[in-house]
Amino acid sequence: MPTYPVTKRGAEQLKSELQRLKSSDRPAVINAISEARAQGDLSENADYDAAKERQGFIEGRIAEIESKLAQAQVIDPATLDAGGRVVFGAIVELEDELSGAAVTYQIVGEDEADLKQGLINISSPIARALIGKVEGDVAEVQAPGGVKRYEIMAVRYQ
């Protein structure tokens, strides 16, 4: 069974979502199903169909999160000491060699990724190009517009 890398913050977010699904969303949809049943004929009851569909989504998401948490390898970036190398959880400051634009990314798990917040998926092309590099190295990333080159300005673990 493969492990699923996730930061400590990402694991907490998954646990929080699981708790919300189990304690509020699941009971609410069960209530909606019972109310729709009380209306009578289920064959033409759109409320019942919608509630059953929502229940299927909630149960599927609960199973998915439980599976991910069971396989999770929780990594606390603050405790990392990778000798300045870019690893999962690291915060990397980059400079585009062509434009000189500076960007900062943290390499995180699949469910945590949010480019607008500077959180990139471990399996993304840029993260794969950065892994193992150190400050001063240049990473080449195959982007839709061609190859982009980024110089690693700093690597932090927090």
Give per-residue pLDDT as tens, 14-33.
999 999 999 999 999 999 99
The whole-number pLDDT of residue 123 equals 92
C-alpha distances in Å from residue 82, one per residue of 42, 87, 97, 119: 60, 7, 25, 19
Of 43 and 104, the one with more pLDDT: 104
* Distance in angstroms (rounded) separating the CA atoms of residues 141 and 120: 14
pTM of the model: 0.80
For residue 33, count CB atoms less than 10 angstroms from its CB and return exposed for 0-12, middle for 13-18, buried for 19 or more. Answer: middle
Q: Could you read off the pLDDT of 34-83 as tens digits, one per residue?
A: 988 888 777 778 888 899 999 999 999 999 999 999 999 999 888 887 88
102-108 and 119-121 strand pairing = parallel
**H or E segment and range at residue 50:** helix 46-71
Domains along the sequence of the chain with CATH:
4-75 (1.10.287.180), 77-157 (3.10.50.30)
